[in-house]
């Protein structure tokens, strides 16, 4: 396959007529598909075939959609470029020679390349919005609890949500309509309280921004690339022309968001990935009479460097004596970030920022620099810490490279995001 968009190309036909009949959907390879290999971009799960469908997959089938393949991703969702995949990197169809973003890079690339009408990704700290921005497509990270995670292989379960990619806001909203809503198999899901204002998310894509108030958190513009900031203000200008107003707001806590996110995400990952030991799940390194060695060998052989780094750091952060110093501090910072967003959203309908502070990197450029990659998540991770919904829409280019514009909304008010963003894409 061109550009290494899919890890597995296999068609799963829908069950009949529905809102997505005749539409093709690419599904990130950490979402379980019954009878179709689900690798999470890892050697550990190279041969894993789930015995059941994720709830979102079942809902896709019921909607009449045709699933066309399982997309490439950073291993277990850990990355910002799709380069940590065991199956090799994916090229960016909108900017060849550059990364498609991550971790849902294959899903964004599938839509950007026209290989699928729609796609599903997952967003733990930006993994839908980053690749949407880098590939010049639309991506939605739903409010925590709007979409079932049943059948999603967990990375950071208190942070992540499954969400849609599409070429337009309206199409992304159509896919959200299909996957959203409570699921008895995921107790964290609930009825969207803001949802009764509109019959469907797709109907909210009116492009009407008359009287919309936009808060611009100054902290999320600091340190961003000049061309990205220019494209951002152009998009704000376009919304103003349509009747929206903006004012600056401050989110002082976001200065700590990247640190807090990585402590929490790595801690959860160290626990979630404990099941991959070659016995319960995953690649087996063989057994020669010593279980400790057998487990260690399976994990040594099955996991890549970034996954190992995170399991080690997460285990350390949770270890006796250090728990209060790292994990508890990170939880305190998470509460502070939530409060800051609540305050800013009490005086604005939505908040706006560049999705990524930088344009897409060249393939290979950042492979050896994990810290710089973590810092590129500065504008996306605060939203996951606060459990809020966000959307990334294309906002032009800088030096020929796509720029993404992010809107963040109040919990379960996806409709406001969709209404506002549809004025742009």
Closer residue to ligand GLN in complex, CB, 77/215: 77
Cβ atoms of 404 and 359 closer than 8 Å: no
Cα separation, 117 vs 21, in Å, equals: 12
Give, in order, the Cα–Cα distances in Å from 425 to each of 109, 134, 228: 17, 15, 17
Nearer to ligand GLN, 78 or 110 (CB): 78
- In this structure, what are the phi and psi dihedrals at residue 324, rounded to the nearest 5 degrees? -70, -35
193 among known catalytic residues: no
- Quick check: helix, strand or coil at residue 61? helix
Decide if residue 127 touches ligand GLN (CB under 6 A): yes
Query: Binding-site residue total for ligand GLN (CB under 6 A)?
Result: 13
Q: Which stretch binds ligand GLN (CB under 6 A): 76-84, 93-101, 182-190, 359-367?
A: 76-84
Is 103 a residue of the active site? yes
- Interface region with ligand GLN, contact rule CB under 6 A, candidates 108-116, 120-128, 144-152, 248-256: 120-128
Which member of 123, 170, 177, 413 binds ligand GLN (CB under 6 A)? Answer: 123
The footprint of ligand GLN on residues 367-406 (CB under 6 A) is: 377
> Can you tell me which of 41, 50, 77, 357 binds ligand GLN, judged by CB under 6 A?
77
265 or 352, CB closer to ligand GLN? 265
Stretch that binds ligand GLN, among 119-127, 214-222, 324-332, 398-406 (CB under 6 A): 119-127
Single out the residue of 14, 50, 125, 370 in contact with ligand GLN (rule: CB under 6 A): 125
Per CB under 6 A, which of residues 1..30 are in contact with ligand GLN?
none
Q: Measure the CA–CA gap between 308 and 91, rounded to whole angstroms.
A: 25
State the Cα–Cα distance between residues 169 and 166, nearest whole angstrom. Answer: 7
Centre a 10 Å sphere on the Cβ of residue 22 and count the other Cβ atoms it contains. Answer: 11
Q: Which of 42, 85, 104, 127 is catalytic?
A: 127
Site for ligand GLN in 264-293 (CB under 6 A): 265
Helix, strand, coil abundance in the chain, percent, nearest 5? 40, 20, 45
Cα-atom radius of gyration of the chain, to the nearest Å? Answer: 20
Query: Reduced to 3 states, what is the DSSP secondary structure of residue 247?
Result: strand
From 28, 43, 70, 141, active-site residue: 28
Q: Is 422 considered catalytic here?
A: no
Residues 70 and 37 sit within 8 Å (Cβ to Cβ): yes
Q: Is the dihedral of CA 94, 100, 101, 102 positive or negative?
A: positive
Would you count residue 126 as binding ligand GLN (CB under 6 A)? yes
Residues in contact with ligand GLN by the rule CB under 6 A: 77-80, 103, 123-127, 155, 265, 377
Task: Please list the active-site residues.
Answer: 28, 103, 127
């Amino acid at each position: 396959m061109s550009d290494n968009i899919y890890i597995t190309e296999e068609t799963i036909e829908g069950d009949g007529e529905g809102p997505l009949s005749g539409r093709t959907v690419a599904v990130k390879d950490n979402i379980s598909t019954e009878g179709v290999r689900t690798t999470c971009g890892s050697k550990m799960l190279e041969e894993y075939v789930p015995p059941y469908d994720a709830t979102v997959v079942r809902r896709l089938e019921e909607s009449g959609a045709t699933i066309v393949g399982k997309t490439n991703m950073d291993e277990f969702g850990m990355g910002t470029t799709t380069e940590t995949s065991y199956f090799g990197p994916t090229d960016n169809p909108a900017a060849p020679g550059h990364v498609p973003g991550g971790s849902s890079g294959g899903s964004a690339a599938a839509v950007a390349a026209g290989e699928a009408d729609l796609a599903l990704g997952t967003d733990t700290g930006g993994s839908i919005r980053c690749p949407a921005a880098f590939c010049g497509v639309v991506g939605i990270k739903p409010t925590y609890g709007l979409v079932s995670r049943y059948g999603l292989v967990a990375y950071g379960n208190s942070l992540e949500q499954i969400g849609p990619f599409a070429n337009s806001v309206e199409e992304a909203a159509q896919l959200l309509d299909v996957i959203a809503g409570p699921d008895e198999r995921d107790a964290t899901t609930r009825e969207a309280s803001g949802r009764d204002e509109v019959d469907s998310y797709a109907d909210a894509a009116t492009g009407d921004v008359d009287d919309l108030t936009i808060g611009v958190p100054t902290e999320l513009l600091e340190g961003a690339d000049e061309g990205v900031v220019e494209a951002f203000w152009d998009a704000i200008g376009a919304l103003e022309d349509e009747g929206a107003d903006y004012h600056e707001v401050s989110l002082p806590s976001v200065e700590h968001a990247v640190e807090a996110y990585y402590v929490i995400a790595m801690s959860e990952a160290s626990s979630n990935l404990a099941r991959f030991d070659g016995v319960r799940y995953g690649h087996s390194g063989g057994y020669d009479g010593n279980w400790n060695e057998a487990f260690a060998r399976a994990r040594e052989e099955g996991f890549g460097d970034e996954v190992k780094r995170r399991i080690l750091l997460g285990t350390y952060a949770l270890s006796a004596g250090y728990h209060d110093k790292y994990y508890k501090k990170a939880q305190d910072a998470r509460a502070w970030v939530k409060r800051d967003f609540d305050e800013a959203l009490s005086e604005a309908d939505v908040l706006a920022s560049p999705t990524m502070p930088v344009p897409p990197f060249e393939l290979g450029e950042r492979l050896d620099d994990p810290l710089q990659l973590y810092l590129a998540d500065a504008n996306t991770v605060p939203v996951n810490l606060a459990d809020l919904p966000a959307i990334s829409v294309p906002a032009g280019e800088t030096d020929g490279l796509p720029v993404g514009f992010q809107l963040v909304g109040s919990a379960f008010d996806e409709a406001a995001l969709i209404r506002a963003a549809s004025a742009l894409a």
